[in-house]
């Protein structure tokens, strides 16, 4: 798999165990009076205030009020469930930055091949693109330093920098001509989508939904693939493996691209009468193209919404392994006076067939493993293995059936992607239509 | 009373503040920081209101605020925390050393409750419960798989009440016993005569530590009729306890003079603690055994005896916890209590133990050199610990003291540290080392 540019702040987000949905809240909606009529709570608040005061006065060293309160909030919110928490003002800023995915650099996506950098994609109108760098070019030297012997991360680090700073690159064109270029770094926006043509089919990898321009990038990627296949796209793979989720809005928009109206998901809060339904817009992008979605135990929340919607609606076949199982929506509530933000679980969501994903995940139509059979199902970190996670009323057995899992044979070359291989295979099989039909009939039963 | 705590499990507390004095403080924020503090409290209330309104299920505010208090305290250092009402009750029990129950030490063994040993003279001992027995039922209810603390709760209760215990012995033998709960006093000091020397072990510093020590010493005096040629005070693995008990225990071996001093944030909080005039074993050579598990109150005793040159410290470098926590009950314990670090303490020579520990005069390990040891965590390894205050002292920069290791193949049960301590007490090494210590 290719390596891509990642902004530092983005990395911080991506290593978080929990996937996040961000849905901005309107702070004015909150009625502060709610808890004041509760004497017990008021009494406990008083207790909190007196402990706070006692610490300020008596701790062995000077204390910082802000640190004390932030630690209190963090601990209280973390105790609710694994996805609720408090973000300090600086964390909150980092999160907002990650959504935009902006950094100072050249605007290319690269991988390391045979010791030199290969350009997989030059972001349109980015500094590299304007200087004439195109997909397929190789970079042999950055800032006067040869790439050979460097890791990809080191090489990428050399390309990043303050906007306005020029950098000298030596480019090898596909026809083996060498070009020396001076590229001025700019603030560029990275993509959360990678695309390529794989054995005559379209392949898109969505890395995260925590990107406010994801849907636009995805449409561009699909257009570029269709163009590359001279207008004939026989099938599409959407790879959501390891996708930890992101913005709820983006998951609805992405699902909507492939659905002609109808429900994508519904979300319910504490008051059961408050059901929020999200619908796809009329018209779809690729009405006659078969779609296979690949998921694994690392596919969570927004990724599960897309997989669940397209599976339930009979629009795509899902292959891979049971997904993470995060069926809750978090709201990020910015606090006044730049005091950071709180992120709390406000809703559970349900796929179009009314199923909750919480603690269960999406079960693929075809279970395909990535590595060969060891004789048993390995335990993986999923929502239900997190301490204190929200429970699901539906506790019927939802385990992968070992006998149904397709494993690569022992002599399968492990550098080849077996799940992708099976996904492409499925696009041209009759089994694809059978699965679609049976999924649609399940939906009409409900 | 103040408390010197350690990180180890099952530790004990008494309180410096009463609930009434605590509640009064809540009103009086001082002027210049009032606004900031109030703004922060306002923020907290605001968040709580939002969570109550918008969280996906109903909130238990008591629990939430308990977590908030704990988070605030734990952000300070590894020894400050919130103690919930149930833990607080257990803390009082372990502090007093008294509880009403059956009188056995138990442990958890793969989901089973296993008897380590019944305590002499208790209902468990009288009923014939033996070390290694498994307790499988209490009052006909199975306790297999029950957390140890809950099983212990079931065995405790009002004195005089009977409890039916079912035990499994030697795999299949099932025995039912009816026991009556009694007040059990936990012994924390034990003593014996070893090779003509007096040996006293203190396992923790609860409120009986000094009283039990003085009883042990007078018994030893009686049993050894002639002069006691030397005393070994074993504080290995002793995680600490009450500050005042550590002072009293030190005082037993010192004729007046400073034992320890403590400093809080304000100068007015600084205190010097002195030994009483007169000592229990005047002129008797004294060796104190310590190891990595000797913490806080143990370190105060070792530090005072070492600094005052009253005895030799032998064994391995101690844990290094140089802070004092105060237990403040909330609403008389109804809402639990908070444990807050309020002071640092200093040995008579003015040294802080924090992060450093006490370095013995003679370093002796219990395992042969290069043996694999369970990784002993020290204060300095704890996350967010209080920083070490001063630069390395003369003592530490002095040439490194060589460690005396047992020969290969020496059995752990034979206790090399104790064996060497006895040899030291009987030889010239004792006086030579004592006189040469800086």
ipTM of the complex in this document: 0.77
Contact residues, chain A, for B85 at CB < 8 Å: none
Q: Average pLDDT for residues A29-48, to the nearest whole number?
A: 61
pLDDT band for position B430 (50/70/90)?
A: very high
Q: Is B139 helix (H, G, I), strand (E, B) or coil?
A: coil
**Interface probe, candidates A75, A92, A343, chain B, greatest B C-beta count within 10 A:** A75
Q: Are residues B396 and B310 in the same domain?
A: yes
Q: Are residues B158 and B302 in the same domain?
A: no
Q: Is A234 helix (H, G, I), strand (E, B) or coil?
A: coil
Q: Are residues B214 and B180 in the same domain?
A: no
What's the pLDDT at A11? Answer: 30
Q: Is A439 helix (H, G, I), strand (E, B) or coil?
A: helix
To the nearest whole Å, the CA of B202 is away from the closest chain A CA by 29
pLDDT over 70 percentage in chain A: 90
Neighbours of B53 (CB within 10 A): 18
Quick one: DSSP state of residue A9?
H
Contact residues, chain B, for A65 at CB < 8 Å: 33, 36-37, 40
Q: Which of A236, A248, A422 is nearest to A316 (CA)?
A: A236
- Is B12 a residue whose pLDDT tops 70? no
Beta strands of B181-246 (E only): which ranges?
182-185, 189-194, 197-202, 231-234, 241-242
Average predicted confidence (pLDDT) for chain A: 85
Beta strands of A30-165 (E only): which ranges?
85-87, 102-105, 108-113, 116-122, 138-142, 145-146
What's the pLDDT at B247? Answer: 95
Give the integer Cα–Cα distance in Å for A98 and A247. Answer: 11
Q: Which of B:108-147 have CB within 8 Å of A?
A: none
Q: Average pLDDT for residues B170-194, to the nearest whole number?
A: 86
A-B C-beta contacts closer than 8 Å: 186
Which of A70-79, A234-243, B329-338 bottoms out in mean pLDDT, i.e. has the lowest?
Answer: B329-338
Place of tokens 């891509």: A4
Q: Are residues B66 and B171 in the same domain?
A: no
Q: Which of A47, A333, A56, A168 is nearest to B47 (CA)?
A: A333
Residue B90 φ/ψ, nearest 5 degrees: -60, -35
What's the pLDDT at B373? Answer: 65
Nearest by CB to B45, which of A45, A58, A71? A45
- Is B18 a residue whose pLDDT tops 50? no
pLDDT in tens, A287-307: 999 999 999 999 999 999 999
pLDDT in tens, A393-444: 877 778 888 889 999 998 999 889 999 999 999 999 999 999 999 888 765 5
Q: Average pLDDT for residues A20-45, to the nearest whole number?
A: 47
Burial class from Cβ neighbours inside 10 Å (0-12, 13-18, 19+) for residue A331 reads buried
Q: Are residues B79 and B104 in the same domain?
A: no
DSSP string for residues in A289-328: --EEEEE-TT--THHHHHHHHHHHTTS-EEEES------E
Residue A178 φ/ψ, nearest 5 degrees: -105, 130
Query: What CATH code is carried by the domain that includes residue B159?
Result: 2.30.42.10
Measured N-to-C along each axis, helices A248-257 and A302-312 cross at an angle, to the nearest 10 degrees, of 30
Q: Cβ(B78)–Cβ(B339) under 8 Å?
A: no
- C-alpha distances out from residue A145 to A173, A432, B278, Å: 18, 50, 78
The reply to whether B162 falls in a domain is yes
Nearest by CB to A270, which of B58, B63, B343? B58
User: How much of chain A is helix, strand and coil, in % rounded to 5?
Assistant: 30, 25, 45
Question: How many domains does chain B divide into?
Answer: 3
pLDDT over 70 percentage in chain B: 88
Q: What is the distance of C-alpha A210 from the center of its chain?
A: 6
The reply to whether B35 falls in a domain is yes
Q: Is B274 helix (H, G, I), strand (E, B) or coil?
A: strand
Q: Which of B366, B360, B361 is nearest to B406 (CA)?
A: B366
Q: Average pLDDT for residues B15-26, to the nearest whole number?
A: 30
Give the integer Cα–Cα distance in Å for A423 and A288. Answer: 17
**Would an 8 Å CB–CB cutoff place A402 in contact with chain B?**
no
pLDDT band for position B16 (50/70/90)?
A: very low
The reply to whether B285 falls in a domain is yes
Q: Which of A136, A138, A186 is nearest to A160 (CA)?
A: A186
**Would an 8 Å CB–CB cutoff place A48 in contact with chain B?**
yes
What's the pLDDT at B359? Answer: 94
Last residue of a domain, one of B135, B161, B184: B184
The reply to whether B91 falls in a domain is no
- Is A28 a residue whose pLDDT tops 60? no
Q: Average pLDDT for residues A40-51, to the nearest whole number?
A: 84
To the nearest whole Å, the CA of B37 is away from the closest chain A CA by 6
Contact residues, chain B, for A30 at CB < 8 Å: 49-50, 53-54
With CB atoms and an 8 Å threshold, state whether A34 touches B326: no
- Is B193 a residue whose pLDDT tops 80? yes
The reply to whether B237 falls in a domain is yes
Q: Is B49 helix (H, G, I), strand (E, B) or coil?
A: helix
Q: Is B296 helix (H, G, I), strand (E, B) or coil?
A: coil
Q: Cβ(B144)–Cβ(B103) under 8 Å?
A: no
- C-alpha distances out from residue A371 to A376, A421, B330, Å: 12, 13, 56
DSSP string for residues in B154-181: HH---TT-EEEEEEEETTTEEEEEEEE-
pLDDT higher at B407 or B95: B407
A323 is catalytic: no
pLDDT band for position B393 (50/70/90)?
A: low
The reply to whether B311 falls in a domain is yes
Q: Are residues B102 and B72 in the same domain?
A: no
The reply to whether B92 falls in a domain is no
With CB atoms and an 8 Å threshold, state whether B59 touches A80: yes
With CB atoms and an 8 Å threshold, state whether A60 touches B386: yes
What's the pLDDT at A35? Answer: 44
Q: Average pLDDT for residues B393-419, to the nearest whole number?
A: 78
pLDDT band for position A358 (50/70/90)?
A: very high
Burial class from Cβ neighbours inside 10 Å (0-12, 13-18, 19+) for residue B19 reads middle
**Would an 8 Å CB–CB cutoff place A60 in contact with chain B?**
yes
pLDDT in tens, B241-263: 899 999 999 999 999 999 999 99
Which of A217-226, B31-40, B112-121 bottoms out in mean pLDDT, i.e. has the lowest?
Answer: B31-40
Which of A380-389, A431-440, B338-347 bottoms out in mean pLDDT, i.e. has the lowest?
Answer: A380-389
Neighbours of B8 (CB within 10 A): 16
What's the pLDDT at B352? Answer: 92
Q: Average pLDDT for residues A130-153, to the nearest whole number?
A: 87
What's the pLDDT at A300? Answer: 94
What's the pLDDT at B37? Answer: 80
pLDDT in tens, A163-193: 888 999 999 998 889 999 999 999 888 888 9
**Would an 8 Å CB–CB cutoff place B174 in contact with chain A?**
no
Residue among A326, A331, A343, A422 flagged as catalytic: A326
Last residue of a domain, one of B151, B184, B217: B184
What's the pLDDT at A320? Answer: 97
Query: What CATH code is carried by the domain that includes residue B322?
Result: 3.90.226.10
Q: Are residues B60 and B102 in the same domain?
A: no
Q: Is A174 helix (H, G, I), strand (E, B) or coil?
A: coil
Q: Are residues B268 and B327 in the same domain?
A: yes
**Would an 8 Å CB–CB cutoff place A177 in contact with chain B?**
no
A411 is catalytic: no
- The token pair that represents A324 in the structure block: 């993470």
Last residue of a domain, one of B184, B199, B228: B184
Q: Are residues B364 and B406 in the same domain?
A: yes
What's the pLDDT at B376? Answer: 66
Q: Pairing relation of β-strands A263-268 and A236-239?
A: unpaired
Q: Average pLDDT for residues B372-391, to the nearest whole number?
A: 75
Q: Cβ(B245)–Cβ(B206) under 8 Å?
A: yes
Q: Average pLDDT for residues A242-268, to the nearest whole number?
A: 94
The reply to whether B90 falls in a domain is no
With CB atoms and an 8 Å threshold, state whether B343 touches A59: no
Q: Average pLDDT for residues A99-107, to the nearest whole number?
A: 84
**Would an 8 Å CB–CB cutoff place A269 in contact with chain B?**
yes
H-helix or E-strand containing A181? Answer: strand A178-184
Structural domain of B35: 2-85
A385 is catalytic: no
Give the integer Cα–Cα distance in Å for B329 and B333. Answer: 5
Cα dihedral value B245, B251, B256, B262, nearest 10: -40
Neighbours of B408 (CB within 10 A): 9
Which of A17-31, A116-130, B133-147, B270-284 bottoms out in mean pLDDT, i.e. has the lowest?
Answer: A17-31
- Could you tell me the maximum CA-CA distance found in chain B, to the nearest angstrom? 77
Q: Which of B:71-110 have CB within 8 Å of A?
A: 71-76, 80
Give the integer Cα–Cα distance in Å for A319 and A299. Answer: 12
Which of B86-95, B121-130, B347-356 bottoms out in mean pLDDT, i.e. has the lowest?
Answer: B86-95
Residue A230 φ/ψ, nearest 5 degrees: 55, 40
- Is A391 a residue whose pLDDT tops 60? yes
To the nearest whole Å, the CA of A298 is away from the closest chain B CA by 24
What's the pLDDT at B381? Answer: 80
Q: Average pLDDT for residues A103-128, to the nearest whole number?
A: 86
Count helices and strands in chain B by DSSP H and E runs:
12, 22
What's the pLDDT at A388? Answer: 80
Q: Which of B108, B238, B65 is nearest to A51 (CA)?
A: B65
pLDDT higher at B97 or B70: B70
Residues 6+ apart with CB under 8 A from A363: A322, A398, A400
Q: Are residues B201 and B170 in the same domain?
A: no
Q: Are residues B414 and B301 in the same domain?
A: yes
Contact residues, chain A, for B340 at CB < 8 Å: 54-55, 58-59
Residue among A312, A328, A331, A356 flagged as catalytic: A312
pLDDT higher at B36 or A230: A230
Give the integer Cα–Cα distance in Å for A121 and A240. Answer: 20
- Is B3 a residue whose pLDDT tops 60? no
Which of A229-233, A284-288, A373-377, B136-140 bottoms out in mean pLDDT, i.e. has the lowest?
Answer: A373-377
With CB atoms and an 8 Å threshold, state whether B56 touches A346: yes
With CB atoms and an 8 Å threshold, state whether B72 touches A55: yes
What's the pLDDT at B365? Answer: 92
Q: Cβ(B70)–Cβ(A49) under 8 Å?
A: no
Q: Are residues B351 and B411 in the same domain?
A: yes
Give the integer Cα–Cα distance in Å for A296 and A314. Answer: 20
What's the pLDDT at B385? Answer: 85
With CB atoms and an 8 Å threshold, state whether A60 touches B33: no
**Would an 8 Å CB–CB cutoff place A343 in contact with chain B?**
no
pLDDT in tens, A305-328: 999 999 999 999 999 999 999 999
Q: Pairing relation of β-strands B286-290 and B312-315?
A: parallel
């Amino acid at each position: 798999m290719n390596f891509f540019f990642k902004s530092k702040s983005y990395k911080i987000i991506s290593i978080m165990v929990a996937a996040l949905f961000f849905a901005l809240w309107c702070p004015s909606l909150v009625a502060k009076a709610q808890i004041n009529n509760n004497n017990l709570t008021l009494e406990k608040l008083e207790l909190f205030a007196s402990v706070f005061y006692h610490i300020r006065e008596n701790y062995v060293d000077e204390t910082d009020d802000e640190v004390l309160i932030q630690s209190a909030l963090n601990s209280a919110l973390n105790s609710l469930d694994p996805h609720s928490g408090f973000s300090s003002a600086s964390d909150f800023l980092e999160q907002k930055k990650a959504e935009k995915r902006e950094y100072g650099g050249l605007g290319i996506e690269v991988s390391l091949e045979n010791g030199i950098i290969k350009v997989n994609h030059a972001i349109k109108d980015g500094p590299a693109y304007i200087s004439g760098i195109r997909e397929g070019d190789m970079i042999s030297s950055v800032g006067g330093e040869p790439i050979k012997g460097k890791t990809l991360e080191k090489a990428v680090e050399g390309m990043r920098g303050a906007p306005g700073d020029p950098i000298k690159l030596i480019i090898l064109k596909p026809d083996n001509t060498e070009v020396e270029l001076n590229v001025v770094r700019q603030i560029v926006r990275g993509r959360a989508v990678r695309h390529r043509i794989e054995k005559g089919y379209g392949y898109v990898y969505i890395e995260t939904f925590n990107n406010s321009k994801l849907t636009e990038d995805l449409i561009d990627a699909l257009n570029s693939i269709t163009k590359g296949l001279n207008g004939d796209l026989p099938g599409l793979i959407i790879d959501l493996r390891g996708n930890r989720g992101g913005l709820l809005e983006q998951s609805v928009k992405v699902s909507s691209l492939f659905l002609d109206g109808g429900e994508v998901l519904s979300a319910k809060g504490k008051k059961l009468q408050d059901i929020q339904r999200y619908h796809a817009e009329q018209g779809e992008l690729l009405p006659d193209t078969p779609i296979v979605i690949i998921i694994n135990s690392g596919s969570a929340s927004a990724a599960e919404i897309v997989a669940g919607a397209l599976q339930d609606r009979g629009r795509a076949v899902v292959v891979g392994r049971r997904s993470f199982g995060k069926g809750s929506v978090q709201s990020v509530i910015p606090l006044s006076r730049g005091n950071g933000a709180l992120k709390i679980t406000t809703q559970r969501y349900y796929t179009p067939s009314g199923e909750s994903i919480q603690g269960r995940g999406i079960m693929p139509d075809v279970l395909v493993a990535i590595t060969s059979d060891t004789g048993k199902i390995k335990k993986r970190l999923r929502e239900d293995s997190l301490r204190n996670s929200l429970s699901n009323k539906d506790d019927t057995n939802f385990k992968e059936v070992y006998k149904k899992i397709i494993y690569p044979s022992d002599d399968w070359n492990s550098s080849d992607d077996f799940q992708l291989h099976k996904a492409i295979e499925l696009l041209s099989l009759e089994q694809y239509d059978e699965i679609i039909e049976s999924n649609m009939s399940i939906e009409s039963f409900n | 009373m103040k408390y010197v705590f350690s990180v180890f499990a099952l530790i004990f507390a008494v309180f410096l503040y009463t609930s009434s004095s605590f509640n009064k403080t809540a009103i009086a924020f001082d002027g210049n920081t009032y606004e900031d503090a109030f703004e922060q409290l306002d923020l907290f209330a605001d968040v709580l209101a939002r969570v109550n309104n918008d969280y996906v299920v109903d909130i238990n505010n008591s629990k939430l605020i308990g977590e908030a208090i704990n988070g605030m305290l734990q952000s300070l250092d590894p020894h400050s925390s919130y103690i919930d009402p149930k833990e607080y009750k257990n803390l009082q029990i372990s502090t007093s050393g008294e509880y009403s129950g059956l009188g056995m030490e138990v442990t958890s063994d793969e989901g089973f409750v296993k008897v380590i040993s019944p305590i002499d003279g208790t209902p468990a001992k009288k009923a014939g419960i033996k070390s290694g027995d498994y307790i499988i039922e209490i009052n006909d209810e199975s306790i297999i798989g029950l957390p140890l603390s809950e099983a212990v709760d079931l065995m405790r209760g009002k004195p005089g009440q009977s409890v039916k215990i079912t035990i499994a012995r030697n795999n299949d033998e099932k025995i039912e016993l009816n026991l009556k709960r009694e007040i059990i006093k936990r012994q924390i000091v034990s003593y014996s005569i070893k090779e003509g020397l007096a040996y006293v072990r203190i396992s923790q510093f609860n409120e009986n530590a000094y009283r039990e020590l003085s009883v042990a010493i007078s018994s030893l005096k009686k049993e050894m009729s002639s002069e006691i040629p030397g005393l070994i005070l074993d504080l290995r693995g002793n995680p600490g306890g009450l500050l005042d008990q550590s002072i009293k225990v030190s005082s037993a071996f010192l004729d007046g003079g400073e034992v320890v001093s403590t400093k809080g944030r304000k100068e007015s909080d600084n205190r010097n603690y002195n030994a009483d005039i007169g000592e229990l074993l005047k002129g008797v050579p004294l060796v104190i055994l310590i190891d990595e598990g000797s913490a806080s109150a143990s370190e105060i005793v070792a530090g005072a005896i070492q600094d005052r040159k009253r005895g030799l410290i032998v064994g391995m470098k101690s844990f290094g916890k140089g802070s004092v926590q105060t237990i403040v009950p909330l609403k008389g314990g109804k809402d639990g209590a908070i444990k807050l670090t309020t002071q640092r303490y200093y040995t008579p020579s003015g040294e802080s133990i924090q992060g450093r520990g006490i370095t013995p005069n003679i370093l002796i390990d219990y395992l042969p050199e290069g043996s694999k040891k369970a990784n002993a965590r020290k204060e300095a390894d704890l996350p967010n610990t209080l920083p070490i205050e001063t630069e390395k002292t003369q003592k530490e920069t002095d040439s490194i003291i060589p460690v005396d290791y047992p020969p290969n193949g020496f059995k752990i049960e034979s206790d090399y540290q104790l064996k060497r301590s006895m040899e030291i007490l009987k030889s010239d090494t004792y006086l030579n080392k004592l006189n040469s210590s800086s």
